[in-house]
Amino acid sequence: MRTVDLIQRKRDGEELAPEEIEYLVDGYTKGEIPDYQLSAFLMAVYFTGMSDREVSRLTECMLRSGESLDLSGIPGVKVDKHSTGGVGDKTSLIVAPLAAAAGVVVPMMSGRALGHTGGTLDKLESIPGLRTDLTPEQFTTQLKEIGLCFIGQSERLAPADRKLYALRDVTATIESVPLIASSIMSKKIAEGVDALVLDVKVGNGAFMKKQVDARRLAQMMVGIGRRVDKRVQALITDMSQPLGFAIGNALEVMEASQTLQGAGPEDLTRLSVELAARMIFLGKQSATLEEARRTAEKKLVDGSGYRKLKEAVAAQGGNPAALDKFELLPNATGMREIPSPRAGYVSQIAAEDIGTASNMIGAGRQRKEDQIDPAVGVILEVKVGEKVDAGSVLCRLYYTKEDRVDEAADMVEDAFRISSQKPDERELILEVVG
C-alpha cells in the first residue's frame, strides 16, 4: 500500500477499505507517515467526506491506537460531557463538578485549543501547578476518591487523536463532520465511560455553521455510541455569539469559578445547569430529567459544585485558592477598550472573529509547538440584544505583548454589529438528539 495512492483515491471521492484507513492511522501514529502526507489526506477528507463505514473504522483505529481504560471497578455510572468547540465555552469546568457533586462519576477527558476555539485542558492549566497529564492509574484513583478527574489524551490513551488533533489545528482541517465525530468518540470510548452528553455547537463561532450539519454530526456521534453500547445524548446549542462574557484561558477559569458561586452570566449558567442535569439523569442519580435539573441547580446554589472543583484542582496539583483569589492566576499586563461607534442595539457579536483575535494575541496556537499565553483574551461588556450608547465600551482586550494588539483590536471591533432595531432573541438550546 502506498500513502500517496490512498490520498489520491480519497481526493477523488472514493471510499477507502477498512484496512486502508487502518494503514493510515497506524502509520501516522507510529511516525511512519509524515505530517505533510497526512495533512493532504485530511484535506481530502475535508472536501469529500467519509462514508459511515469509513467513520466507524477511523474511530475504531483511533481508539485502538492506545489503551482503553476499564472503569468497571469504580462503582456508579461513569458519565462524561464533551463540546464540539466554541468561543467562551467553559461549561466543562462547571458541569463536571456539578454532576460529580450530585454523585455521578465524571471521567473528563478534554482537548486543547482547536482553531479559533478554546480547549478545556489549556484553560485548566492556567491554574498554577495543575497537571492534566496523569497516568491511567492516577486517573482511576482520583475518580474513586473524589468522583471527578480532568485529563487529556496521552501517549497511552487515544494517541492517534492527540496527533491528528494537533495536525488538524494547523492545517485548516477541523470543520469536518467525520473528523470531529471520530476524534471525540474515540477518546470518549477509550476513557471507559458508560454514557456521554455532547454539546454540539452551531453558528458563527462553531465548526458547524448550519444546524443541518450540526444535526448530522450529532446523529453520527450518537450512532457511534450506540454501536459500542454507550448511551449518548446530544444537545445542539447556539454559538452565534460567545458563551458568557470571558474568552481566554485564565479569564474563563475566573468566569467558571464565579458561575459555580452563583454569580455567572445567564446564558452560561442556564446551559451548564441543563448539561449537568443530563449527566445526572444519564448517571442514574435522578428518576426524571426534571428532578435532575433541580439537583443541578441545588448543587450550584449550595456551593457543592464549586467545592468539588476545588477538590479536583487540589488533587491534580493545582492551587485551589486561585479560584477565589484571581490574582493568583496569570494576569494580563495591558488592556484596551473597544468603544461602540454609534448608539443602538448590539445585533451581532461574531464569535469566530472574537476567538481568532484572542488567539492572535496568544490565547491559542498558530503552530503545533507554540505555547499559549494563559493570561490574555477578551471580556465582553455587552451581549446581543443590549442597548449601547455611542462610545460606550463593547469589550476589553487583555494582553501581555504589544505585537498584534492593533490587528486583534480591529478584528474585535469589526465583530460587533450595532443596529437601530432590537434583534430577535435566539434560542440557546436548539435541539436534543439521542
Nearest to 79 by CA among 55, 98, 60: 98
Residue entry with cell 467525520 = 178
| 24 contacts 6 by C-beta, under 8 angstroms | yes
Q: In the bound complex, what is the minimum distance in angstroms from residue 59's beta carbon to ligand URA? A: 12
Known catalytic residue at 82: yes
List 80, 89, 161, 373, catalytic entry = 161
| Amino acid in position 296 | A
For the purposes of burial, counting CB atoms within 10 Å of the CB of 406, is it exposed (0-12), middle (13-18) or buried (19 or more)? exposed
Q: In the bound complex, what is the minimum distance in angstroms from residue 157's beta carbon to ligand URA? A: 13
Tell me the C-alpha distance between 233 and 137, whole Å. Answer: 28
Residues in 80-99 at the binding interface with ligand URA, rule: CB under 6 A? 84-85
For ligand URA, the binding residue among 114, 350, 379, 397 (CB under 6 A) is 114
List 187, 188, 365, 396, catalytic entry = 187
Residue closer to ligand URA (CB basis): 238 or 311 = 238
Q: In the bound complex, what is the minimum distance in angstroms from residue 182's beta carbon to ligand URA? A: 8
* β-strand partners of 433: 234
For ligand URA, the binding residue among 151, 180, 195, 418 (CB under 6 A) is 180
From residue 45 to residue 84, the character string flagging contacts with ligand URA as x (rule: CB under 6 A) and all else as - is: ---------------------------------------x
List 112, 168, 201, 396, catalytic entry = 168
C-alpha cell at 151: 485529563
Q: In the bound complex, what is the minimum distance in angstroms from residue 48's beta carbon to ligand URA? A: 18
C-alpha cell at 105: 462519576
For the purposes of burial, counting CB atoms within 10 Å of the CB of 421, is it exposed (0-12), middle (13-18) or buried (19 or more)? exposed
List 110, 182, 183, 272, catalytic entry = 183
From residue 130 to residue 169, the character string flagging contacts with ligand URA as x (rule: CB under 6 A) and all else as - is: -----------------------------------x----
Nearest to 239 by CA among 94, 372, 118, 69: 118
**Helix extents (H) in 302-362:** 304-315, 351-358
| Amino acid in position 72 | S
List 10, 82, 90, 299, catalytic entry = 82
> By Cβ distance, which residue is nearest to ligand URA?
183
C-alpha cell at 73: 471497578
Known catalytic residue at 183: yes
Residues in 26-45 at the binding interface with ligand URA, rule: CB under 6 A? none
Tell me the C-alpha distance between 97 and 257, whole Å. Answer: 11
Known catalytic residue at 201: no
Known catalytic residue at 182: no
Residue closer to ligand URA (CB basis): 167 or 393 = 167
Total residues interacting with ligand URA, rule: CB under 6 A: 9
111 near ligand URA, rule: CB under 6 A = yes
C-alpha cell at 248: 481566554
Q: How many CB atoms lie within 10 A of CB 13?
A: 10
| 90 contacts 309 by C-beta, under 8 angstroms | no
Tell me the C-alpha distance between 422 and 418, whole Å. Answer: 9
237 near ligand URA, rule: CB under 6 A = no
Q: In the bound complex, what is the minimum distance in angstroms from residue 117's beta carbon to ligand URA? A: 7
* β-strand partners of 234: 198, 433
Residue closer to ligand URA (CB basis): 243 or 315 = 243
Tell me the C-alpha distance between 243 and 301, whole Å. Answer: 20
Cα torsion angle, 84, 199, 88, 413, sign: positive
For ligand URA, the binding residue among 59, 65, 183, 249 (CB under 6 A) is 183
184 near ligand URA, rule: CB under 6 A = yes
Known catalytic residue at 278: no
Q: In the bound complex, what is the minimum distance in angstroms from residue 162's beta carbon to ligand URA? A: 10
Task: Supply the residues annotated as catalytic.
Answer: 82, 161, 168, 183, 187
The footprint of ligand URA (CB under 6 A) covers 84-85, 111, 114, 165, 179-180, 183-184
